[in-house]
């Protein structure tokens, strides 16, 4: 988040680089920044494994995805709530991950937008029809109830911020168990 594409500011390549030596877990960076292309190399060099971008964040989504792939990274595309699944018709063969935003990006703690369940189901059909191994991830308003719904609609992976951290450190383990139970 850069304070321009969305109103908040979060971590940049320096933080990714500082964390990279401490884990072999894959780093999936969701770039809510504009213009996005100027930052692709920096996040790749910092140690990102997957770089996920919004079509609205640069002039040419095809070029952004091609560049991510040329860096040897997995390429992902993010669909905001109002971005139609149909736009994937033109780029699905270029991506390794589709991220559906189930809230408008920029702030944690928002409520899940139920219409995104139809979008998740439609994208799952598109991915399955493609025959490719493409991850379908959902971010925004994920809690134990919506996690179950998103998985039933076809999601492979979920991003849960507020539901994970609600209640402070003593509640984290129970929160994660509730999400996994979905």
CA distance 145 to 39: 35
Within 8 A by CB and 6+ apart from 124, the residues are 136, 153, 154, 155
Known catalytic residue at 139: yes
CA distance 68 to 53: 10
- Single out the catalytic residue among 37, 139, 143, 156: 139
DSSP H or E segment with residue 28: strand 28-31
Q: At what angle do helices 144-153 and 172-180 cross, to 10 degrees?
A: 30
The answer on whether 181 is annotated among ligand-binding residues is no
The answer on whether 109 is annotated among ligand-binding residues is yes
The answer on whether 76 is annotated among ligand-binding residues is no
The answer on whether 106 is annotated among ligand-binding residues is yes
CA distance 161 to 156: 17
Laid out side by side, the sheet with 97-101 consists of: 28-31, 50-53, 74-79, 97-101, 135-139, 157-159
The answer on whether 107 is annotated among ligand-binding residues is yes
The answer on whether 139 is annotated among ligand-binding residues is yes
Binding residues for substrate: 30, 106-109, 141, 161-162
Residues forming the active site = 139
Q: Which residues are annotated as a binding site?
A: 30, 106-109, 139, 141, 161-162
Mark the binding-site residues for a divalent metal cation, compressed into ranges: 30, 139
């Amino acid at each position: 988040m850069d304070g321009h594409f969305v109103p908040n500011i979060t971590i940049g390549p320096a933080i990714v680089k500082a964390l990279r030596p401490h884990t072999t877990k894959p780093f999936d960076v969701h770039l809510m920044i504009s213009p996005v292309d100027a930052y692709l190399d920096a996040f790749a060099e910092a140690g990102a494994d997957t770089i996920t971008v919004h079509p609205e964040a640069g002039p040419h989504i095809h070029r952004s995805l091609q560049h991510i792939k040329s860096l040897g990274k997995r390429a992902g595309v993010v669909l905001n709530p109002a971005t139609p699944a149909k736009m994937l018709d033109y780029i699905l063969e270029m991506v390794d991950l589709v991220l559906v935003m189930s809230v408008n990006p920029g702030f944690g703690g928002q409520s899940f937008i139920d219409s995104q369940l139809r979008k998740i189901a439609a994208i799952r059909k598109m991915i399955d029809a493609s025959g490719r191994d493409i991850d379908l991830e959902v971010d925004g308003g994920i809690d134990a109830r919506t996690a179950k719904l998103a998985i039933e609609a076809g999601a492979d992976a979920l991003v849960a911020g507020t539901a994970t951290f609600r209640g402070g450190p003593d509640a984290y383990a129970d929160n994660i168990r509730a999400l996994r139970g979905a």
